[in-house]
Structure formats: structure tokens, C-alpha cells
Amino acid sequence: MTNDKKYLIVGLGNVGSEYTGTRHNYGFEVAHAFAQSLGADFKSERLGYVARASFKGRQIVILMPTTYMNLSGKAVKYWLANENVPVENCMVVFDDLDLPLGVFRIRPKGGGGSHNGITNIIEELGHSNVPRMRCGIGKDYAQGYQTEYVLGKFSSKELEIVDETIKRAVEALKSFVTAGMQRTMNQFNTVENESVKINQDKTQE
């Protein structure tokens, strides 16, 4: 029996010091900031680093899979079952090339697109009804250099935008576990629409 007061927040990334601070580890950064905001610490457990917290009557499990990106679904499937969390109470956070830097989009379901992590989660769960937060990293790379771009590190100017975006993402996650999907989308997806130009201007300064 699932617990409708329990939530699983998953940040996608790759373990290892060589991946720290890379665009592809955006999900890890959001998960880490979310845990910090709740005073929770990560411990190494099966298939991932796991932190546990409570917030306004909700139990929250925060997961950073250690399976590497392409096998993220194995960890998500295990922890959904292990913690008896309904899939609608799970939020997967990951980097997205199709959104500008400084923007994130929250959706209740969707395909995997070009992101191997979310694609593997869909494959493992057998459906695409997985709530997700797509964090924009932009497409500022030459043709054929997508891999180098996503595994590259943010510039100092980009990090200023990323830090501000992560703060808003943390607030959106708190909204998700307390106010629900629809209200969170209405509030935070709209806010992001208005912030795109501001963030783009920053990168051009």
C-alpha cells in the first residue's frame, strides 16, 4: 500500500569528481540544495545517495542515483517500491537542452526526448506518467558537440543564473509536496516564462 503523504524527489546526475559542476549534473545540484534547505544529509544506500526529511506533515525521500545516468530507472524503480511512494508523488529533476538557461518546467508526464536518464526511468517503470522538472541548460554548442557540452562545466556567469534558478527550484519542490502538481505548475512555470529574458541578458553582459 502506497503512502500519499510520502514523496520521492530524484535528482539525476553522474557520480564521480569529474562530473561535479557539469551541466548534466544539474539534477544532483537541485536535489542537494533541496536536502540542505530541509536540514537533511545524504547517506550512501542501495543504488544511490539518500536523504530523508519531513516538511509540513509530509515525509520526503531525496535520491541521487549512483547507477550513472543511463541506468537511473533502476534506482528510481527500487526506491519507489522500497518507500511505498505513489509515482504521482515522485518528481525527477534533470537537465534539458531544449530550455534556456535559467528556466525550468514542471510537468506531470511526458517522453524522454534526448535525455537518457529520463528515458531509462520510463523504460523501467513501463510508462511515461512520471512527474518531472526540466532544468534548462541551453544549446550553446557546435553541431556534433552535444556530449562535450552537457558534460562540460558552467561558466562563472552561468553559475550566477544557475544558483538563482536552483533557489526557485527548491521552492517549487516544496510547493509540489504541499500544494500539489497543478498549483505548482501554475505558479512556477509562469514565473519562469517571465524570467527568461532577464537571465539571457545576464549571460550577454
Active site residue 24: yes
* Cα angle: 21, vertex 159, 107; to 5 degrees: 80
Nearest 5°: phi and psi at 188? -90, -35
DSSP secondary structure of 75-144: HHHHHHHHTT--GGGEEEEEEETTS-TT-EEEES----TT-HHHHHHHHHHTSS---EEEEE----S-TT
Rounded alpha-carbon distances, angstroms, from residue 131 to 74, 76, 140, 173, 185: 17, 12, 27, 11, 11
CB 133 within 8 A of CB 174: no
Marked catalytic residue, from 24, 32, 115, 127: 24
Catalytic residues: 24
